Structure 1
Amino acid sequence: MEPHLSIWGDFAGVELRQHFVNAAGIRTRIVEAGSGPTLVMVHGTGGHLEAYTRNVRELSQHFRLVLFDMVGHGLSEKPNRPYLIDYLSDHLVAVLDVLGIERAHLSGESLGGWVAAWTAAHHPDRVDRLVLNTPGNITNNPKVMAGLKASSLAAVRDSTYETVRARVEWLFGDKSLVTDELIRFRQRLYQQEGFERAMENILAVQDWEHRAPYIWTAEWCGMITAPTLLLWTDKDPTATVEDAEILLKLIPGSTLEVIKGAGHWPQWEKPEEFNSMHVQFLEG
């Protein structure tokens, strides 16, 4: 893979479309590329679809790739209510509906992995195969929850270059891969009018009263029938590789792959491995 230059450098030469749709009343930003079986990729807490720019060129050669900003995130609409897992999952299903997608592969990172897994459990007829990419603090570690909440709110309330850089660097094992462009792009998103309130709603699930109904349990994980790949890293700040063993037991028939030398965004730090694992697993 060529060295990363910029977001548009990654997109250069790829036939893609950015547009907005009304998904269950939510104005939602979409980027689509490629053809074939549909692969929907779901970003993490406080994130945006550009989390996957380093994967579009390769994966769009195999799949109809759909990226979107979850409700409350990126450039999608931000209603004033807590963005809990079932609400985010309903929005994901609404995106499938408005795009005319009956079934799709789902790949979710961090919060997006939680949402993708919940969707696979509660809408099994809509999911072919499932990739859970560093799905994030599955043991509900209070220190991780508090740290994520503090750094995310700081990046929005005082959205200087330095505070946003700190939030973005937290995602990476190799901090040198954090680009000025990525920081300034996220800074621009965080400076949108009303985004502080949106971030508070995004982070609601970091409070136990909102989190408790959705914690990873055998009850709902056992409802997942889609073949599932757990894609872990050895430098994830939210969970250890040992934590993956918990999900291996909770999700029937799941398998585990570990990408070494990456943090919470292996799709950006190790795109060749990330892309190859997706193609091999999703194509069976």
Structure 2
Amino acid sequence: MARFSFLTTTDGARIAYRLDGRDDNPTIVLSNSIGTTLRMWDGQISALTQHFRVLRYDARGHGASSVPAGPYPLARLGQDVLELMDALDLARAHFLGLSLGGIVGQWLGVHAPDRIDRLVLSNTAPWLGPAARWDAPIAAVLQADDMIDTAETFLRNWFPAHMLEAADPVVDAFRAMLTTTNRHGLAGSWGAVQEADMRESLAGIARPTLVIAGEHDTVTAASDSVQMAKTIAGARLLMLPAVHLSNIEFPERFNDEVVRFLRAPS
């Protein structure tokens, strides 16, 4: 894999990113789930680069990016995307985010609509419960000896039983991402989830939007996606028979539907 490039944000964080595809194609920004790196999108790159230049980045606290002190405000995660776009002279771009990346996408759709062309919100939700519910998991991950138990909990929430039981190499790759994630980065990102409540704001998203849901998702319930698609004017809903990582379980369908949506006539 090619070397990363790096951006230093206005608050001093170092964000790792990479670009794939032709410079003269429109750009799509991909934003990853908590506990993963930009490698979670490897299965999308071949399909997307046929039509787009792809900008991937490791969210602060993850992968090759730095780990500032948390918690990370949701607005700060959104600003990281805007500063990346500014540094690359991108006035506008498509945006695809999954889980926490999808929460960032919601924030961008509300607060920076002039920078977003089309928006794909995958396996995400505008609100994931009262803030207090996150206090215990944040404390637990910070106090644990390692990330092993946290990783196994995530994997059970992300993949169907048949993949977990088969010692699937894909699951192993995500286990490696999780166990090498800095606990402070994970806890800081949970801070953004803890504060996020976009339920009242979603109706303000005016960009063309595709909502992708996992029928068996226990992290961000399919019912949340259905409601999001109803709330965002003109939004389309794609329901896949997936758990939480729809792009991993059903990459061909995921890729085809995303490309079709992004290339559809206005």
Decide which of 105, 109, 112 is 1:120's aligned counterpart. 109
Q: Percent identity between the aligned chains? A: 28
Query: Over residues 169-204 of structure 1, what are the superposed CA-to-partner deviations in whole Å (9 max), with x where a residue is unaligned?
Result: 4211243444333323432x32xxxx2333222222
Aligned partner of 2:184 in structure 1 is: 197
Specify the SS of the correspondent of 1:53: helix
Query: Over residues 27-84 of structure 1, what are the superposed CA-to-partner deviations in whole Å (9 max), with x where a residue is unaligned?
Result: 1111211121101010112221111111111111111011101122222112113112
Query: Over residues 152-182 of structure 1, what are the superposed CA-to-partner deviations in whole Å (9 max), with x where a residue is unaligned?
Result: 828974234x652442342112434443333
Aligned partner of 1:80 in structure 2 is: 69
Decide which of 12, 18, 41 is 2:4's aligned counterpart. 18
**Root-mean-square deviation (CA), in Å?**
2.7
Asked if 1 retains the 8 angstrom alpha-carbon contact of 2:29 and 2:55, the reply is yes
Aligned partner of 2:199 in structure 1 is: 217
Aligned partner of 1:264 in structure 2 is: 244
Deviates more, 1:47-56 or 1:241-250: 241-250
Specify the SS of the correspondent of 2:61: coil
Specify the SS of the correspondent of 2:158: coil
Aligned partner of 1:107 in structure 2 is: 96
**1:154-193 aligned within 5 A:** 157-160=145-148, 163-173=150-160, 174-175=163-164, 176=166, 177=168, 178-187=170-179, 189-190=180-181
Distance 1:145 1:269 in 2: 28
Asked if 1 retains the 8 angstrom alpha-carbon contact of 2:138 and 2:190, the reply is no
1:256 Cα deviation after fit: 0.4
Aligned partner of 2:220 in structure 1 is: 239
Aligned partner of 1:226 in structure 2 is: 207
Decide which of 39, 43, 49 is 1:60's aligned counterpart. 49
Specify the SS of the correspondent of 1:67: strand
Aligned partner of 1:277 in structure 2 is: 257
Distance 1:145 1:43 in 2: 23
Seen in structure 2, the aligned counterparts of structure 1 residues 251 and 126 have a Cα distance that, compared at 3 Å, is same
Aligned partner of 2:85 in structure 1 is: 96
Seen in structure 2, the aligned counterparts of structure 1 residues 268 and 91 have a Cα distance that, compared at 3 Å, is same
Distance 1:155 1:272 in 2: 40
Asked if 2 retains the 8 angstrom alpha-carbon contact of 1:17 and 1:33, the reply is no
Query: Over residues 196-228 of structure 1, what are the superposed CA-to-partner deviations in whole Å (9 max), with x where a residue is unaligned?
Result: 333222222354xxx2xx41223x222212100
Q: When the two structures are aligned, how many residues end up with a matched partner?
A: 256
Distance 2:224 2:26 in 1: 31
Specify the SS of the correspondent of 1:130: strand
Aligned partner of 1:4 in structure 2 is: none
Distance 1:156 1:61 in 2: 43
Distance 1:100 1:133 in 2: 26
Specify the SS of the correspondent of 1:170: helix
- TM-score if structure 1 supplies the norm length? 0.80
Query: Over residues 89-131 of structure 1, what are the superposed CA-to-partner deviations in whole Å (9 max), with x where a residue is unaligned?
Result: 0111111111111100000100110101111211111000000
Asked if 2 retains the 8 angstrom alpha-carbon contact of 1:144 and 1:238, the reply is no
Distance 1:159 1:90 in 2: 28
**Amino acid in structure 2 at the alignment position of 1:91:** D
Seen in structure 2, the aligned counterparts of structure 1 residues 240 and 199 have a Cα distance that, compared at 3 Å, is closer
1:20 Cα deviation after fit: 1.8
Seen in structure 2, the aligned counterparts of structure 1 residues 273 and 243 have a Cα distance that, compared at 3 Å, is same
In the alignment, structure 1 segments of 5+ residues that lack a partner are 1-7, 9-15
